[in-house]
Structure 1
Amino acid sequence: MYKIEEPIYFYLFAIIPAIIVIFLLVLWWKKRTQRKFSNSLLLERLAPNASPFKSILKLIILLLGISFLIISLVNPKMGTKLKTIKREGVDVVFALDVSKSMLAEDIAPNRLEKAKQIISKIIDKLGSDRVGIIIYAGNSYPLLPITTDHAAANMFLQNANPDMVSSQGTDINGALELAKTYYNNDDQTNRFLIIISDGEDHQEDTKQVAQNLTNEGVKIYTIGVGLEKGGPIPMRLNGAMIGYKKDNKGETVITKRMPEILQGIADIGEGKYIDGNFTDNPVNSIAEIIANAEKNEFETKQFSDYKDQFQWFLAIGLFFLIMDVFLFEKKTKWLRKVDLFNEEKAKK
């Protein structure tokens, strides 16, 4: 297992394309100047040892040297031991609605992106708590099993979109049933399920399914995103806007937030409903609730004794830079003696 200590230095890789552009411009300028001075045949006689290949090789070696030096600045670290440690926390599972209605842009940038922002910021405020993520629309899918790896949770979260679910609709019941399988620690007394949705098109028997989950000790909190007056659902093709979703009559579909449905689920789940249109409101509320909850001890395995690996990349980078210094832009003597295409015989 490895981790990156200073990922900000990855931005230095922008130097690479800049150097390539400068090299091409200089090469073009040289060719243009040489044409003004003389023709190609005369230039070959004046500078028989000039090697265009060597120039490109020097550039490649220089870029490799710079790349390895940048990686050394990032300082990758390698975990050398996997050990079991004891931590205290609660289990928090997020159920994210990724139905097409969540693409409505009645709140910026859209309902789905707002929901992702909320979840990400809540995860950032958690301590050693375990988190899991479920996505649902017409079907429910486990996006991330319950884990203590918050970085992985944020990474998987950013990839969530409606295309990951095979059918559209709002299978909240499936998400509630799937959530039951996430709480695999029988000793955990505090279990939280946080549903983020616009509340539209939820099933009639959802409250009964939520009650069954509550009976197993899971507290359900709901966060509503979107405006109650609603908004159209944009349709895109290859990222370009092509119009809005229409019904069978050809009229534009208006999707609305249904807070009363989410409120009902939260009431049955012994939690509460929170308006999610202002990000800080649900983030601070949920973070406070979880912080004040009783923590249970659990075991987890993680890598430890991370050791710096920058020295290897630094050494390789310096090796390439030194090689670049001693590599000249003229043909190698032994290579000049190899008459691959019988050019010398043709001259005779």
Structure 2
Amino acid sequence: MTFLYPLYLWLFPGVLLVGALLLFAVWRSRKALTAYLGGRLLEEALNIFALKSFISAVLCLTALAMLILALAGPQWGSRSVEEERRGLELVFLVDVSNSMLVEDVLPSRLVRTREVARSVASRFPESSRGIVVFKGGASVLVPLTGDPAAFDLAISYLSPALVTSPGTDLDEALPVAADLFPGGTPRHRVVLLFSDGGHDQGVSRQVLEDLRDRGIPVFTILAGTPAGGTIPTTDGGVLRDAQGDPVIVGVKSRRMEEIASVTGGKSYNLSETAIVNRLVQDLEQLSGQGASVLFRQVAVDRYHLFVLAALGLLTVMIGVQSFRWRDLL
């Protein structure tokens, strides 16, 4: 069981407070009853009063607990719901690790990524677009926006300096990109991943299946060639290892293809001459001229069960108070 509003569960200590108030009220009533009655009639009346008070208190406190659970929004199980989508929303997920500075794709992997991303976005002027950059961590550079000027400005500043954490972690970056899309959007949602595939820990299958289940395909654009190249440094040289040899960085195409395959996307290579036209054509085909109907799994709300239980308990409590218990004792 999960709760939509778990903060309401903090109301449970209030049940103890209500219980203490009920106990005090019973004590006051018992004291008044003792002063009013006497003899054998008093003993019989106190027995009935104690039984009715105990049962009523249990029913009242249980009903209160049920109402608190209902407020917290309990959910369990799932069901399929139709989701009609029209139009397009794009999140550009860009690897800004140092390996993207390699110049095996001219003028460099990162510069070519800027050019392609800007060209693709310009072909969909009515679409919202956002940018997430990642290395060892991920950061939202531009939230989903329809402002092309803000997008173009951010694209021009893509560099390894934007994220300080070393390495490359897609397990963190992909969920950040997916969460950029607003819930319940009527548009098709696509993540465009630009990377050389050199992710330190690989990508969790669970992360990819979650994207697929949410209807968010990942179009992967492999940045680089199998031969790879060296990483230029700011002093005009190249990055070298501990032995003084140049570090050669290639690509991992199979990893990128797996990401696209599992999420329902497609794979491309940044070095393709017609990369922009291919991307635009496939994105147009995805969005289509009309609407498409997809199905997604949503959690089932169960709060009404707890409300009904509370009402039932309160009804029984009223019956307990109204029933002539003397006939049973």
Interval of TM-score (by shorter of Structure 1 and Structure 2): 0.5 to 0.7
Provide the C-alpha distance between the structure 2 equivalents of 1:257 and 1:196, rounded to a whole number of angstroms. Answer: 12
- What is the one-letter code of the residue matched to 1:120? R
Superposition deviation, residue 89 in structure 1: 2.5
Q: In the TM superposition, what is the alpha-carbon distance from 1:175 to its structure 2 partner?
A: 1.2
Q: Which residue of 2 aligns with 1:280?
A: 274
Is the CA contact (8 Å cut-off) linking 1:169 and 1:201 kept in structure 2? yes
| Aligned residue number for residue 95 of structure 1 | 93
What is the CA-CA distance between 1:124 and the residue it aligns to? 0.9
- d(CA) in 2 for partners of 1:200, 1:99: 9
Question: Against the structure 1 CA distance between its residues 133 and 279, is the aligned structure 2 distance closer, same or farther, given a 3 Å change threshold?
Answer: farther
The alpha-carbon deviation at position 294 of structure 1 amounts to 4.2
Conserved? CA contact 2:114–2:155, under 8 Å: yes
Query: Which residue does the alignment assign to 2:282?
Result: 289
- The equivalent of 2:243 in structure 1 is 249
Partner of 1:151: 149
Tell me, yes or no, if the aligned pair for 2:87 and 2:187 is still in contact at 8 Å: no
1:248 Cα deviation from its structure 2 partner: 2.5
Q: One-letter code of the match for 1:274?
A: Y
Contact 2:100 2:110 in 1 (8 A): yes
CA separation of 1:189 and 1:124: change in aligned 2, threshold 3 A: closer
Over 3 Å counting, the alpha-carbon distance change for 1:258 and 1:126 in structure 2 is same
Q: Which residue of 1 aligns with 2:131?
A: 133
How much has 1:151 moved relative to structure 2?
2.2
Q: Residues 41-80 of structure 1 correspond to what in structure 2 (within 5 A)?
A: none
Unaligned runs of 5+ in 1: 1-87, 298-348
Question: What is the CA-CA distance between 1:289 and the residue it aligns to?
Answer: 2.2
- What amino acid is the match of 1:290? L
8 Å contact 1:89–1:127 — kept in the other structure? no
Tell me how far apart the structure 1 counterparts of residues 95 and 222 of structure 2 sit (CA, whole Å). Answer: 10
How far has the Cα of 1:261 moved from its partner?
A: 0.9
Which residue identity lines up with residue 167 of structure 1 in the other structure?
A: S
Q: Measure how far apart 1:207 and its partner are.
A: 3.4
The one-character-per-residue Cα deviations of 1:197-238 (angstroms, maximum 9, x if unpaired) are: 11113423433312212211101110012110111111114x
2:196 maps to which of 192, 195, 198: 198
Q: Aligned pairs, how many?
A: 205
- Residue 169 (structure 1) aligns with: 167
> For residues 128-172 of structure 1, what are the alpha-carbon distances to aligned partners after superposition, in whole Å with 9 as ceiling and x for unaligned?
111111101111110100011122111111001001111221121
Mapped partners of 2:212, 2:273: distance in 1: 26
Shift of 1:278: 2.6
For 2:20, the equivalent position in structure 1 comes to none
- Go from structure 1 to structure 2 and tell me whether the alpha carbon gap of 1:262 and 1:274 turns closer, same or farther (over 3 Å shift): same
Rounded Cα–Cα distance in structure 1 between residues aligned with 2:290 and 2:179: 19
**Is 1:189–1:296's contact at 8 Å kept on the other side of the alignment?**
no
2:207 maps to which residue? 209
8 A Cα contact 2:178 2:191, kept in partner: no
CA RMSD of aligned residues (A): 1.8
Counterpart selection for 2:229 from 227, 231, 239: 231
Could you say which residue in structure 2 is the equivalent of 1:310?
Answer: none
Q: Of the candidates 256, 267, 276, which is equivalent to residue 262 of structure 1?
A: 256
Q: How does 1:2-13 map to 2 (within 5 A)?
A: none
| 1:196–1:205 CA distance, 2 compared to 1 (3 A) | closer
- The whole-number CA distance in structure 1 between the counterparts of 2:181 and 2:266 is 20
Shift of 1:280: 2.7
TM-score (norm: length of structure 2)? 0.59
Normalising by structure 1, we get a TM-score of 0.56
SS of the residue corresponding to residue 244 of structure 1 reads coil
State the one-letter code of the partner of 2:280.
A
Paired AA for residue 98 in structure 2: K
Deviation at 1:279, TM superposition (A): 4.8
Query: Which residue of structure 1 aligns with residue 65 of structure 2?
Result: none
Q: Does 1:187 align with 2:185?
A: yes
Q: Which stretches of structure 1, 4 residues or more, deviate above 4 A after TM superposition? A: 294-297
Q: Distance in 2 between matches of 1:205 and 1:122?
A: 26
1:306-345 mapped onto 2 (5 Å cutoff): none
- Could you report, residue by residue, the CA deviation over 1:105-126 in whole angstroms, capped at 9, with x for unpaired residues? 1121111001111101101111
Structure 2: gaps spanning 5 or more residues: 1-85, 292-329
